[in-house]
Amino acid sequence: MNPSEARFIAVVMGGVCGERGVSIQTGACVTLNLIEAGHKVLPVCIHADGKWEIGGDPAVGDNWESWFAGKGQSPLTALGRVIELGVDCVFNGLHGPGGEDGIVQGFLRQAGLPFTGPDVTPAAVTMDKALTKTALQDAGIRTPRGFKFPTLAEISSGDGLQQWVHNKAGSVPFPWILKPNCLGSSVGIELFPSPEDLLERASEVSRNWHPVPGISGSGFLVEEQLSGRELTCGVLEVGESPIQAFSPIEICPVSSEFFDYHAKYTKGATEEICPAELDPSLTRKVQETAIRVHEIFECAPLSRTDMFLHLDGELTVLEINTLPGMTATSLIPQSAIEAGMKLPELFNLLIQHAIERESLREAIETL
């Protein structure tokens, strides 16, 4: 496929989780840039109730709300319509559960539609923070000390929780960061400076922290709070081109204690330095780490690895994102622009990868 070749692209945005708003921003940005690149674009919104809506012509305006009437249909019916319309590729603008965890990837794979972003297995594994942490540790990559929040059965009383917190604090001192095991965009993350702070809040919201037996990836992960410089580094792997690490970005929250949802999505709440002010050897070390993590999880075509650089020059990897935000001010677009790549070009490369991957899969299945 010629990267400049015009295609008919469905852009899926929205979703049913806490990252819905971020996804819509991504979808709107992608849609407008694909139109600028000469593609025909079909916006598709997954509403909060799980229904899918095929939108109107996005060329009539840049306000995404004008593309949708608010009335959806079942995913199967909507996907059938997308296929009938002859869409060449689905651009996955979803974030979080249902969009970033292999579910929609498997749905589109079964339908025979090319889709951007990671394949089914990398999406599923990297969305689960506990599984990701285990894989990184097995590969000898440093990650924050941490553990899963216990089930209700393991802590049957307030005294049980108090004893558990006391025991765990012996190996992982406070402050603790609690984060949902299978959410992104810093949704639901909380910082607890002391055991007393956590125990006071536990009586109010502990039912949301515990994993649900039989539901993979549910519950919360506890991690130590790290010190140092917070960095992120994107990696692009498309076609026959060598794998490419973008320049690292340093993330400096202005008012928040860490890079939480407010810091990520409130204008002026965070200073993002692109490229990060690092000496060449540290820049290479960050890039090499990001590429190694990308390759461990087979995250083609794109990933973004978040990490901390400590005073001793060592790195601790926080997590890897396989469907990072794609608004004009998001971190990957900033990196691409710094590298001389305009957004329509980046999105074209992701579409090219999706179509080539599906063609290769079909060829293998016919052998």
Where in the chain are the domains?
A: 8-117+344-351, 126-142+226-322, 146-224
At 31, the pLDDT band (50, 70, 90 cuts) reads: very high
pLDDT value, residue 150: 78
pLDDT value, residue 264: 52
Q: Which residue has the tokens 């929040």?
A: 149
pLDDT value, residue 318: 95
- Residue 9 phi/psi, 5-degree rounding, is -120, 130
Separation CA 274–CA 294 (nearest Å): 20
pLDDT value, residue 160: 80
At 181, the pLDDT band (50, 70, 90 cuts) reads: confident
Q: Are strands 302-309 and 249-253 parallel, antiparallel or unpaired?
A: unpaired
Looking at 3.40.190.10, 3.40.220.10, 3.30.470.20, 3.10.20.440, the CATH number of the domain 126-142+226-322 comes to 3.30.470.20
pLDDT average, residue stretch 132-154? 89
- Range in 184-188, 216-220, 287-291 with the lowest mean pLDDT: 184-188
pLDDT average, residue stretch 12-36? 93
Looking at 3.30.310, 3.40.50, 3.90.580, 3.30.1490, the CATH number of the domain 146-224 comes to 3.30.1490
Share of the chain above pLDDT 70, in %: 85
CB atoms near residue 299 (< 10 Å): 25
Looking at 3.40.50.1820, 3.40.50.20, 3.90.470.10, 2.130.10.10, the CATH number of the domain 8-117+344-351 comes to 3.40.50.20
For residue 5, pLDDT beyond 70: yes
For residue 48, pLDDT beyond 70: yes
